[in-house]
Chain A
Amino acid sequence: MAAAAAPGPGPDMFEEIVMAEHRFHGEGYQEGYAEGRHAGAAEGRRHGARHGARVGAEIGSYLGFALTWQCLLRKCTDEKNSKKRKALDSLIGMIQKFPYEDPTYEKLQEDLEKIRGKFKQVCSMLNIQSDFRVSNERSSLTF
């Protein structure tokens, strides 16, 4: 590195020193920035994937559940079942409108809570305990 040689004494020496310090800082910064970007992207992606996987699995399971029950009740046209069907339709509508895969959606958590509430309500109307596994809890703990 020829640039590493100390400047000789002279009127511009101090200016040269300051410039060189600035330049070395800048070179380090550039390298560090590239490293940091890579490390940050990997770390962020890992955290994001964990959250996304959890939400995706949960939402998918509500949808699969609701669509199946919607089919199971389609032929039951009596008054008692029409309420259940309405609740199922409403839950399905909420899920289909929900951009669960978009982390920038500002009401993500709020909508998710509403869907959870609706799911619980549907389960209680169907006389089903809603505490079965909606996702693979065991694995999400070790992930």
Chain B
Amino acid sequence: MSWVQVAVNQSNEDIFDEDADEMCVVQKEWNSTMKKRLKEGFRDGVEAGKELALQEGFNQGYREGAELMVTCGQFRGTLNALSSWCHLNGHNSALSKINNLLDVVGKHEDDLLKCLNSIQQQPHVGDILNAVQDMDLSYAAPDGTKYDEVNTKKYEHVGSSAENYCRTNGEDGSLQSECSKAKLCTDPERSSLAWVKKQTVWLVEQLGLSLDVLHHVQQLED
């Protein structure tokens, strides 16, 4: 932790107070004034930094959120269209199947939203470095064991939740690539959108719809 943060955070302890007995009044006054300036500076700095970064962060997050969710939306829209077609053409037996698939898409959307949320609550590198320094630990952690642990976790929860994959990634990476990486770890048979796609293809065939519809469904990214 830097000395500025120590000064700001521990207002009761005087970090400059190394030899209290010999400290004259002037010195104390001096210290308190300088600490005040330090705090004021810190506060001004936080405000300025935050203001500048808010918009940048918003833009970055917006893009990530939009690009991540558009695919789910396409599945939802496709299923809604099929549902309305079945409704208009008296294929009521297919409706419950479509609703089930819509629920799976909804669950997947939930997982992605959780993933978006958890990724932003990652501690930043500075915090971790400070914590490591404070703990006075050797900086060279055994990477191998950590990595294995992470991998085991990924496979345990495969297909169940996007959250697990993303939790293991750093904050500053692009979300798109993180979630692609997550996909690579996922058994394609159990990835929920791939499953929905397969089921939808099957449904389109059962309903005897045109090849155009089939191709549209097959073109959806999963």
Query: CB-CB < 8 A to B100: which residues of A?
Result: none
B10 close to A (CB within 8 Å): no
CA–CA, A90 and B190, complex, Å = 37
Within 8 A of B (CB), among A1-32: 1, 4-6, 20-22, 24-32
B51 close to A (CB within 8 Å): yes
Nearest-CB residue, chain B, relative to A45: B61
16 contacts between A and B (CB under 8 A): A34-B49, A35-B45, A36-B45, A36-B47, A38-B126, A44-B53, A45-B57, A51-B65, A60-B73, A60-B74, A65-B81, A68-B77, A68-B81, A132-B83, A136-B113, A138-B106
Tell me if A57 and B26 are in contact (CB < 8 A).
Answer: no
A contact face: mostly helix, strand, loop, or mixed: helix
Tell me if B40 and A36 are in contact (CB < 8 A).
Answer: no
Query: CB-CB < 8 A to B153: which residues of A?
Result: none
Q: What is the minimal beta-carbon distance from B88 to any residue of chain A, in angstroms? A: 7
Q: Which of B139-147, B154-162, B181-189, B208-216 contacts A (4 or more CB under 8 A)?
A: B208-216
Q: What is the minimal beta-carbon distance from A137 to any residue of chain B, in angstroms? A: 9
Query: CB-CB < 8 A to B75: which residues of A?
Result: 60, 64
Interface string of A45-86 (1 = CB under 8 A from B): 111111111111111111111111101101100000000000
Tell me if A29 and B126 are in contact (CB < 8 A).
Answer: no
Interface string of B52-84 (1 = CB under 8 A from A): 111111111111111111111111111111111
Indicate the size class of the contact surface on chain A.
Answer: 35 or more
Residues of A within 8 A of B (CB): 1, 4-6, 20-22, 24-69, 71-72, 74-75, 100-104, 126-128, 132-136, 138-140, 143
Tell me if B16 and A4 are in contact (CB < 8 A).
Answer: yes
B135 close to A (CB within 8 Å): no
Residues of B within 8 A of A (CB): 2-5, 8, 16, 26-27, 29-31, 33-35, 37-85, 87-88, 102, 105-106, 109-110, 112-113, 116-117, 120-121, 124, 126, 171, 209-210, 212-213, 215-217, 220
Name the contact of B113 in the complex, choosing from A26, A30, A64, A139 (C-beta under 8 A). Answer: A139
What 8 additional pairs, Cβ within 8 angstroms, besides A30-B4, A52-B62, A133-B106? Answer: A6-B27, A21-B34, A24-B41, A32-B46, A48-B57, A56-B66, A64-B79, A134-B73
Q: What is the minimal beta-carbon distance from B35 to any residue of chain A, in angstroms? A: 8
5 closest A-B pairs by beta carbon, nearest first, are A60-B73, A32-B45, A44-B57, A28-B41, A36-B49
Tell me if B73 and A63 are in contact (CB < 8 A).
Answer: yes
Query: CB-CB < 8 A to B70: which residues of A?
Result: 56-57, 59-60, 63, 100-101
Query: CB-CB < 8 A to B40: which residues of A?
Result: 25, 28
CA–CA, A27 and B102, complex, Å = 55
Nearest-CB residue, chain B, relative to A137: B106
Known: A52-B69, A103-B62. A40 touches B54 (CB 8 A): yes
Query: CB-CB < 8 A to B57: which residues of A?
Result: 40-48
